[in-house]
Amino acid sequence: MKIVVLMGSPNKRGSTSILVENFKRGAEERGHEVEVIDVCHADVNPCIGCVRCGYEGPCVQQDDTRTIRAALLGADMVVFATPLYYYGMTAQLKAVIDRFCAYNSSLNSRHLKSALLTVAWNADDWTFEALTAHYKTLVRYINFADMGMVLGYGCGTPSMTARSRYPNEAYQLGKSL
């Protein structure tokens, strides 16, 4: 299976990357191919809502979204990886998702598997409610098959994350595919 991880953390060596590395290791041990796309350091503009794509054509913006689109349409699974920013995903990852509108039908017809990897400093039971609701809506709308979520409560620093159970949960999720 070909898996594309949309890495939505601007911190290349942060807590989110710890989950991604462990997920990748587990998936690769099972023989899957994993490509991590660093969306925070890619050239991705926000959707301007012009609809010249007709929701299935090329986007008028010439940026790295073309590469991301090709990767996703050639994949079997997409993993959304993001730290929690004000109870949602990072703006950089959201910009990539907003640009899905230019290939919405193609994504829908792929029936991709999906997963969510996320971390937050907070450990309150409601910490991830808004983010998981958004993720579940994407799964439903784009016809993804949810394979699981790793919700890293209390992962405010990489050292806190490394000592937590969440790297192993990410590894086990990758290994379970």
Residue 163 sits in a domain of what CATH number? 3.40.50.360
Q: In 10 A of CB 125, how many CB atoms? A: 8
With cut-offs at 50, 70 and 90, classify the pLDDT of residue 85.
very high
| 114 in Cβ contact with 139 (< 8 Å) | yes
Maximal C-alpha separation, the chain: 48
| Phi, then psi, of 76 in degrees rounded to 5 | -105, -15
With cut-offs at 50, 70 and 90, classify the pLDDT of residue 57.
confident
Copy the structure tokens of residue 84. Answer: 């929690």
Q: Is 118 helix (H, G, I), strand (E, B) or coil?
A: strand
Copy the structure tokens of residue 106. Answer: 């193609």
Percent of the chain topping pLDDT 90 = 97
Q: How many domains does the chain have?
A: 1
- The whole-model pTM stands at 0.97
The 10s digit of each residue's pLDDT in 94-128 is 999 999 999 999 999 999 999 999 999 999 999 99
What per-residue confidence (pLDDT) applies to 55?
A: 87
Domain ranges, residue 145: 2-175
Sequence letter at residue 76: D
| 27 in Cβ contact with 115 (< 8 Å) | no
With cut-offs at 50, 70 and 90, classify the pLDDT of residue 147.
very high
What per-residue confidence (pLDDT) applies to 146?
A: 98
Averaged pLDDT for residues 80-100: 97
DSSP state, residue 42: S
Averaged pLDDT for residues 67-96: 97
Q: Which residues pair with 77 in a beta bridge?
A: 3, 113
Helix axes 166-175, 15-29, angle to 10 degrees: 30
